[in-house]
Amino acid sequence: MASKVDMDFEGLASGHRACAGCGAAIAVRLILKGTGKNTIIANATGCVEVFTTPYPECAWNVPYVHSLFENTAAVAAGIEAGLKALGKKEGINVVAIAGDGGTADIGLQSLSGMLERGHDVLYIMYDNEAYMNTGIQRSASTPYGATTTTSPAGKVSIGQETRKKFVAEIAAAHHIPYVATASVGYPRDLINKVNKAVNIKGPKFIQVHAPCVPGWNYPESKTVEIARLAVETGLWPIFEMENGVITSVRKIKEKKPVEEYLKAQRRFAHLFKDERGKKVIEEIQKLADENIKRYGLMD
Amino acid sequence: MVKKVLEGSHAVAEAVKLCKPDVISAYPITPQTHIIERLSEFHADGELGNCQFIRVESEHSAMSVCLGASLVGARAYSASTSQGLALMYEVLFNVAGLRQPVVMTTANRALSAPINIWNDWQDAISARDSGWIQLYAENAQEAVDYTIQAFKIAESHDILLPAMVCIDGFVITHTYEVVDIPSQEDVDAFLPKKVPYLPLDPENPIGYGMIGTPEVYEETRYLIQETMEKAKKKIVEVGQEFEKKFGRPQGGLIDTYKLEDAEVAILSMGAILQTMREVVDNLREEGVPVGLIKVKSYRPFPKDEIRKAVEGLKAIAVIDRDISLGHEGALFTDVKSALYGSGERPLVKGYIAALGGRDFPETTVRKIVDDIIKVAKEGKVDKEVEWPDLRREIL
C-alpha cells in the first residue's frame, strides 16, 4: 500500500501563527503533501509546535503529538512499535518533525537510538540554523560566521565560531536505507523525497534547509530566493544517500559566490564591515567549495 | 494459581507477562535489570505474543517510547530505578499530563552522589509530584499483585493516569520468595485488553500536547488532582475485585496491624514493614501496646484513611527512607499534613533511616518504638526528627 503524493492535501491548515515567509511552515505544508493523510506526526518543542498548537486550536489535519524537546524520535518509535503490536502499522506513515536544536543538539541521542534500532519512521529535521523559538540562540547547526543572540558578533567575536554540525552525515553513519537533504527553495524535490522516504521500510532521515525571516533577518518575500542561493553557492548541498551511497545530487548550473547568499541576510552583515569579516567570508567560500567537491555538485 | 519460589524480579516479570503488554521499553540499570532480562527471555522465546520489546539508549527514551505506544492505544510497560528514574523525570510529568496509562516498576534505589546502587525510596519520592499513581509493595507477592492491579487502575477511563509500582531494590528484586502466580485465564478475565481512549488514528485525527497558556494550564492540574482523588476509590475497588478473583486481600490504600488496642504505632512503606511486623509481634508478647500502619498508596495519599487509623493513638512514629533535604522525611511531612486538619490527633515524630541500602534490623525498630513510647508518655515531641541508625562516629 504505497503512499502517493497528494498535492491537494492541506495537512497544515491555514490560520496558524507562523511569521510571514516562515521557511519551516512552508516545509511542513510540503512535507504533508508528500506523506498524504495516512500519517501520524510526532513533533518536537520548537517553532513549528508553537505556531501550530495554541490550545484549543490545532493546525494539523493529521493525528499529531507534541511531547517534549529531545524525545521526538523516541516518541515516534513508540508510535511505530504500538501500531506494529496492534497490527495497525501497514499503510500508516510515522513521521517525526523537529528543528535543528531538537535534532543536532538535545535530540541527537534519541535520534541515534531510533535510527540504530531500525524503526519504520521518517525523521525530518527542519533546519533554520538556530533556536528561533526562544529568540535566535546558536545551535550546533548554526553556520560559521552567523551572529545569533548567544553567539553575537562583537569586538573580539566573528559570531558563530564553529562549523555547522551536519546531521545528515551522522544519520547516514547509522547504515539506514535513506538519507536526503532538501530545501524549501525546491518544493517539488522536497515533496518527492518525503514521498519516496515514506515508501521505504525502515528509518529515514531528511534534513530540510528552512530560512527564518527574523532569525536570518531578511525581508519575508525572500525566503525561497535565499533558500535557493544557499544551494547555488554550494553552502547547502542537496543529495540523496541510499544505503550509504550517494545516489543523486542537485547539480549547480552556475556557481554563485557565497557573498551573494551572505549579503542577503543581516545575520552575516558584520562580515562585510572590515578585514576580519573578509577573511571569514573567504573561509565560508572554502566551505562551499569543499561541499561542491565532496558531493560532486558541479560537473 | 501456581505457587513458585521466585526471585522478586522474576515474579514481577511473570506478572507483566500475564498482563500482555503490547510494548515494553526499558534501559538496564541495577537493581531493575533482572526484571527486563527475564522479560527479554520471554520475548526471545516468543512467549510475549506480538509484544514489541524496544531496547532503548536511555531511560528518557524508554518512557518516551511507552508514551508514543500508549498514544496509539497500546498497553505499555517500563521498569527503572534511581538515576534512570531521574533521567525520566521530565517524561514522567509529560506522560501524566497527556493522561497516558503507562505502568512501570520502580526498583527503588538511592540517588547519587555518592553513587549508591542500594535501596531507599529517594528516587520515587522525588517523582511524587509528577501525576503518577505510586503503589509501594511490601514483598514479591504484593509486587505481582499490584502490577496486575496497576494496569487496571491506570487504564480505567475515569482515571487515565500512569501508575508506578515501587518495589525495594535488592530486598524485593533480588531475594527469593514463595509467590502465587495467577493463571493467565484469571488475569485475562480480571484485566481485559486495553480499551484505548482517543488514540492517534489517521481516520480520526486529533492533536495531543497543545500549548497550555495561562488561561488553561491550571485547569489541567486541577483535573489531574481531581482524578487522583477518584483514584483513591478506584484503588480500593480494584483491590476488592482482585480479592474476589484471586482470593487474596491485596490492594487498597493502607493496612493496619495490631492497631485495635495500641497506644503507639509505627508507620512506613515497602519491605521494611516485614521487619517492623516482626518487632510488633515480639513487643506485643512483651506487653507493649504497639501497632503498625502500612501505607500502600503513596500517591494518591490516603489522608482520610490515615486519620481514621490513628484515632485513639497517643503517638506515631513515621519512618522515612528518604529525605527532602532542607526539611525532613517526605512521608513524615505527608502524615503530619494529613492529620493537621483532624480534631484530636496523636503526636507524630519522624525517623530517617536505612538510606542507601543500610540494613534495617529489629534493633533499629526497637529503638524507634522505645522512643515513640517515651514521646507518648511525656506527651510531647522534643525533637521532631531522629536518625536512629546514623553512624555519628564517621561524621
Q: Is B342 on the interface with A (CB under 8 A)?
A: no
B72-91 residues touching A, CB cutoff 8 A: 72-74, 76, 90-91
Enter the C-alpha cell of residue B20: 500482555
What pLDDT is stored for residue B369 in this prediction?
Answer: 98
CA R_g for chain B: 21
Q: Which residues contact B45 (CB under 8 A, 6 or more apart)?
A: none
Check whether A220 has a pLDDT greater than 90. Answer: yes
Q: Could you tell me if A84 lies within 8 Å of chain B, comparing CB atoms?
A: yes
pLDDT at B18: 98
pLDDT in tens, A238-256: 999 999 999 999 999 999 9
Contact (CB, 8 A) for B146 and B137: yes
- pLDDT given for residue B8 in this prediction: 98
Mean pLDDT across A56-65:
97
- Is A74 within 8 Å of B60 when comparing Cβ atoms? yes
Q: Which residues have C-beta within 8 Å of that of residue A128, sequence separation ≥ 6? A: A23, A24, A47, A99, A100, A210, A211, A212, A215, A216
Mean pLDDT computed over every residue of chain B = 97
- d(CA A138, CA A246) in angstroms, rounded, equals 30
- Residue A178 to residues A141, A183, A187, A291: CA-CA distances in angstroms? 21, 17, 19, 20
- φ, ψ of residue B181 in degrees (nearest 5): -100, 120
Kindly tell me if the per-residue pLDDT of B377 is higher than 90.
yes
Alpha-helix runs per DSSP H in chain B: 8-18, 33-44, 59-71, 82-97, 122-125, 140-155, 184-190, 217-246, 272-285, 303-309, 330-340, 362-378
How would you label B166-197 residue by residue, b for 16+ Cβ within 10 Å and e otherwise?
A: bbbbbbbbbeebebbbbeeeebeebbeebebe
Chain B residue nearest residue A75, CA to CA: B68
| Residue A110 located in a structural domain | yes
Partner B contacted by A179 (CB < 8 A): no
**What's the rounded Cα separation, in Å, for the pair A180 and B171?**
51
- Across the interface, whether the CB atoms of A65 and B91 are under 8 A apart is answered no
Say if strands A93-99 and A153-154 run parallel, antiparallel, or are unpaired. Answer: unpaired
Q: Do A113 and B60 touch (CB under 8 A)?
A: no
Interface probe, candidates B94, B200, B215, B218, chain A, greatest A C-beta count within 10 A: B200
Instruction: For chain A, give the percent of residues with pLDDT over 70.
Output: 100
Over pLDDT 90: what percentage of chain B? 97
Give the mean model confidence (pLDDT) for residues A7-23. 97
Whether pLDDT at B13 is above 70: yes
The answer to whether residue A86 neighbours chain B at the CB level (below 8 Å) is yes
* Segment B93-142, tens digit of pLDDT: 999 999 999 999 999 999 999 999 999 999 999 999 999 999 999 999 99
Q: What is the DSSP letter of A239?
A: E
| Together in a domain, B264 and B136 | no
Answer yes or no: is A5 within a domain: no
B246, B266, B301 - which closes a domain: B246
Give the closest of A49, A63, A112 to B201, CB-based.
A63
Assess if residue A10 is contained within a domain. no
Pick the closest to residue B149 from B68, B253, B79 (CA basis).
B253
For residues B363 and A254, give the distance between their C-alpha atoms in angstroms, rounded to a whole number.
86
Indicate whether B202 and B275 sit together in one domain.
no
* Polymer length of chain A: 299
Q: Which of A16, A86, A95, A198 to mutate to test the interface with B (most CBs of B within 10 A)?
A: A86
Q: Does A15 touch chain B (CB under 8 A)?
A: no
Q: Does B223 touch chain A (CB under 8 A)?
A: no
Residue A13 in any domain: the answer is no
Please report which confidence band the pLDDT of residue B2 belongs to, taking 50, 70 and 90 as the band edges.
confident
Q: What is the pLDDT of residue A18?
A: 98
B205 at interface of A, judged by CB pairs closer than 8 A? yes
Average pLDDT over residues A159-181: 97
Q: What is the pLDDT of residue B343?
A: 84
Of residues A61, A35, A41, the one with CA closest to residue A190:
A35
- AA identity, residue B366: R
Q: What is the mean pLDDT of residues B269-290?
A: 98
The pLDDT of residue A20: 97
Strands A93-99 and A122-127 turn out to be parallel
Q: What is the pLDDT of residue B174?
A: 98
pLDDT number for residue B151: 98
CATH number at residue B282: 3.40.50.920
Residues B190 and B238 in one domain: yes
What is the tally of structural domains in chain B?
2
Shared domain check, B296 and B178? no
Contact B64 A113 (CB under 8 A): no
Residue in chain A lying closest to B194 (CA): A86
| Residues in A touching B207 (Cβ below 8 Å) | 53, 58, 60, 63-65
Please choose, from the candidates A240, A131, A114, A108, the residue with its C-alpha nearest in 3D space to the C-alpha of residue A186.
Answer: A240
Please check whether residues B267 and B211 belong to one and the same domain.
no
Q: Looking at the structure, tell me whether residues B93 and B190 fall in a common domain.
A: yes
Mean pLDDT of A184-197: 98
Please indicate, yes or no, whether residues B30 and B55 belong to a single structural domain of this protein.
yes
**Nearest chain A Cα to B211, which residue?**
A54
Domain count of the fold of chain A = 1
Residue A69 covered by a domain? yes
Q: Does the distance separating the beta carbons of B65 and A74 come in below 8 Å?
A: yes
Contacts 24+ apart (CB under 8 A), B43-49: B47/B17, B48/B17, B48/B20, B48/B21, B48/B24, B49/B20
Q: Which domain holds residue A248?
A: 23-295
| Residue B68 distance to chain A (closest CA, Å) | 4
Taking CA atoms, B148 is separated from B52, B161, B191, B250, in Å, by: 19, 15, 8, 11
Task: Indicate whether B127 and B27 sit together in one domain.
Answer: yes
Same domain as B136, residue B280: no
Q: Is the pLDDT of residue A188 over 70?
A: yes
CB contacts of A78 in chain B (<8 Å) are: 23, 25, 54, 64-71, 76
**Does residue A96 surpass a pLDDT of 70?**
yes
Average pLDDT over residues A258-281: 98
Residues B56 and B205 in one domain: yes
> A6 at the B interface (CB within 8 A)?
no
The residue out of B203, B224, B246 marking a domain boundary is B246
ipTM value: 0.97
Q: Chains A, B: CB contacts under 8 A, how many?
A: 166
The alpha-carbon gap from A79 to the nearest alpha carbon of chain B, in Å, equals 4
Q: DSSP letters of B262-322?
A: -SEEEEE-TTHHHHHHHHHHHHHHTT--EEEEEE-EEES--HHHHHHHTTT-SEEEEEES-
CA distance B388 to B368: 7
pLDDT for position B251:
84
Residue A213 has pLDDT above 80, yes or no: yes
Domain check: are B209 and B335 in the same one? no
* Count of Cβ atoms closer than 10 Å to residue B278 Cβ: 12
Return the exposure string of B34-59: e unless at least 16 CB atoms fall within 10 Å of the residue's CB, then b: bbbebbbebbeeeebeebbbbbbbbb
Question: B34, B62 in Cβ contact below 8 A?
Answer: no
Overall average pLDDT of the A52-76 stretch = 97
Q: Which distant-in-sequence residues (6+ apart) come within 8 Å of B42 by Cβ? A: B13, B17, B48
φ, ψ for residue B209, nearest 5 deg: 85, 35
Q: From CA A218, how far away is CA A215, in angstroms rounded? A: 8
Check CB contact of B212 with chain A, cutoff 8 Å: yes
pLDDT tens column, A131-163: 999 999 999 999 999 999 999 999 999 999 999
pLDDT at B14: 98
User: Does any domain span residue A152?
Assistant: yes
The answer to whether the Cα torsion of B303, B308, B309, B310 is positive or negative is: positive
Q: Which residues of A touch B27 (CB under 8 A)?
A: none
**Structure confidence at residue B250 (pLDDT):** 83
| Mean pLDDT confidence for A86-99 | 98
* pLDDT above 80 for B1: no
Q: A56 and B90 in contact by Cβ < 8 A?
A: no
A-chain CB neighbours of B68 within 8 Å are 42, 65, 67, 74-82
Question: A67: which chain B residues are within 8 Å (Cβ-Cβ)?
Answer: 64, 67-68, 91, 94, 98, 209
Asked if the Cβ–Cβ distance from A85 to B94 is below 8 Å, we say no
State the residue range of the domain holding B273. 254-394
- CATH number of the domain bearing residue A86: 3.40.50.970
Using a CB–CB cutoff of 8 Å, tell me whether B220 touches chain A: no
Q: Given CB atoms, is A54 within the 8 Å cutoff of chain B? A: yes
Q: What is the pTM of this model?
A: 0.98
Domain end position, chosen among B225, B246, B267 = B246
| Same domain as B267, residue B231 | no
Rounded to whole angstroms, the Cα distance separating A105 from A154 reads 24
